[in-house]
């Protein structure tokens, strides 16, 4: 009998900062909307963050903060497997094994590694590998293991991570070429959103919202801080009465991601007609943001309390993840002749 087996999709989230509005609209919301179809696996890639985060307090806090954010945003830990990478020791054993099947030349060509060398070259540093640690170099191998150990079929990623998923397929192929008769790693496929447009938010300086531009609006900032941040978004000096072009305003663009159609149409009409000032528009944005975010923020704050159920949920997720990972590692060990 042939049964339809549903595809397993897997995504890792690197905890390198407090989640902001751009992460929510660009990554979290679409991922959770998609979670319906395939069986899904989400994890916090805390060991990946170690290549850049060197403050133990921050690494711990961001890891919990990212986990609490996904749960507050509606991730259902019953239906999905949700865990912290560092809670699954099998990953790190397989990492060594698969590093022995990862071509060094392939890693030499990895975008992030090449970009780090380019920065040295541009800065006139003679040793192009200066300041680059092996964690950065091995990053794609660890990511391949994340994917392969869970036998994921699909990996939804942004364009910047596509190469890494291709590497994972490559590494699986290299392993399978040697041991395929006794055990085959599942070869994954990347799923890249066809258009990111419409999912990019402007930051408080009008450029794309990004941690590296320091222009983010934190997703769960306290009300007073949210108000201050919204106030800081630059606007031109068009007087209140003058007609305005909503589409050239970062405040309006932000509003368009959170307000319902009716509200948005009303605001657009008033801006175009003149009579609505930027100050009022900012107030409107702030009110809409608090309406949308405060129920989630409550859940987030509760999860971030010491002794909340967050640790319990992550421990349950880790147990499920290990149950998936162990047989894969076992079969790999057997295939290579260890143990």
Neighbours of 128 (CB within 10 A): 14
- Which residue minimizes CB distance to ligand TRP? 12
Strand ranges across the sheet with 39-44:
81-84, 39-44, 8-13, 154-156, 189-191
- Contact (Cβ atoms closer than 8 angstroms) between residue 281 and residue 271: yes
CA distances (Å), 89 to each of 85, 246, 326, in order?
8, 51, 10
Taking CB under 6 A as the binding criterion, the range among 65-73, 96-104, 153-161, 176-184 that sits at the site for ligand TRP is 153-161
Which CB, 41 or 335, lies closer to ligand TRP?
41
- Shortest Å, Cβ 132 to ligand TRP: 17
Reported as half-sphere exposure (CB side, CA atoms, 13 A), residue 108 has a value of 4
- Shortest Å, Cβ 313 to ligand TRP: 20
Give the one residue of 64, 146, 251, 329 binding ligand TRP; rule: CB under 6 A: 146
Structure token pair of residue 108: 């030499």
Cα separation of 142 and 98, whole Å? 9
- Contact (Cβ atoms closer than 8 angstroms) between residue 49 and residue 86: no
Give the one residue of 25, 72, 94, 147 binding ligand TRP; rule: CB under 6 A: 147
Which CB, 144 or 226, lies closer to ligand TRP?
144
Which CB, 154 or 226, lies closer to ligand TRP?
154
Which CB, 45 or 254, lies closer to ligand TRP?
45
Classify the phi-psi angles of 54: left when phi > 0, otherwise alpha if psi is within -120 to 50, otherwise beta: alpha
Which CB, 45 or 209, lies closer to ligand TRP?
45
Interior angle at CA 281, CA 279 and CA 282, nearest 5: 65
- Shortest Å, Cβ 301 to ligand TRP: 25
Segment 40 to 99, residues that bind ligand TRP, using CB under 6 A: 45, 48
Phi and psi (nearest 5°) for 66? -65, -40
**Under the criterion CB under 6 A, does residue 155 sit at the interface with ligand TRP?**
yes
Segment 8 to 37, residues that bind ligand TRP, using CB under 6 A: 10-12, 14
Residues that bind ligand TRP (CB under 6 A): 10-12, 14, 45, 48, 143, 146-147, 155, 157, 161
């Amino acid at each position: 009998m042939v049964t339809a087996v549903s595809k397993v999709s897997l995504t890792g989230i690197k905890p390198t900062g407090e989640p902001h509005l751009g992460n929510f609209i660009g990554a979290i919301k679409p991922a959770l909307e998609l979670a319906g179809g395939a069986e899904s696996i989400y994890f916090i890639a805390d060991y990946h963050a170690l290549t850049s985060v060197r403050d133990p307090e921050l690494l711990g806090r961001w890891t919990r903060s990212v986990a609490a954010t996904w749960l507050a945003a509606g991730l259902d830990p019953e239906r999905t497997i949700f865990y912290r990478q560092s809670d699954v020791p099998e990953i790190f054993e397989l990492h060594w094994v698969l590093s022995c099947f990862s071509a060094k030349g392939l890693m030499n060509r990895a975008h992030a590694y090449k970009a780090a060398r380019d920065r040295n070259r541009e800065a006139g540093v003679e040793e192009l590998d200066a300041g680059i640690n092996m964690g950065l170099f091995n990053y794609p191998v660890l990511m391949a293991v994340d994917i392969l150990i869970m036998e994921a079929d699909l990996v939804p990623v942004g364009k910047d991570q596509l190469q890494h998923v291709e590497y994972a397929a490559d590494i699986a192929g290299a392993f399978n070429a040697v041991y395929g008769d006794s055990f085959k790693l599942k070869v994954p496929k990347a799923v890249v959103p066809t258009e990111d447009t419409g999912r990019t938010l402007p930051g408080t300086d009008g450029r794309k919202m990004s941690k590296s531009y320091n222009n983010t609006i934190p997703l769960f900032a306290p009300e007073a801080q949210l108000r201050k941040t919204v106030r800081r978004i630059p606007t031109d000096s068009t007087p209140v009465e003058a007609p305005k072009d909503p589409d050239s305003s970062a405040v309006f663009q932000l509003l368009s991601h959170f307000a319902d159609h009716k509200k948005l149409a009303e605001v657009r009409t008033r801006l175009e007609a003149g009579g609505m000032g930027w100050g009022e528009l900012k107030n409107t944005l702030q009110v809409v943001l608090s309406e949308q975010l405060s129920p989630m923020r409550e859940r987030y704050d509760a999860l971030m309390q010491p002794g909340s159920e967050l640790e319990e949920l992550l421990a349950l997720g880790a147990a499920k993840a290990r149950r998936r990972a162990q047989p894969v590692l076992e079969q790999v060990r057997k295939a290579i002749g260890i143990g």
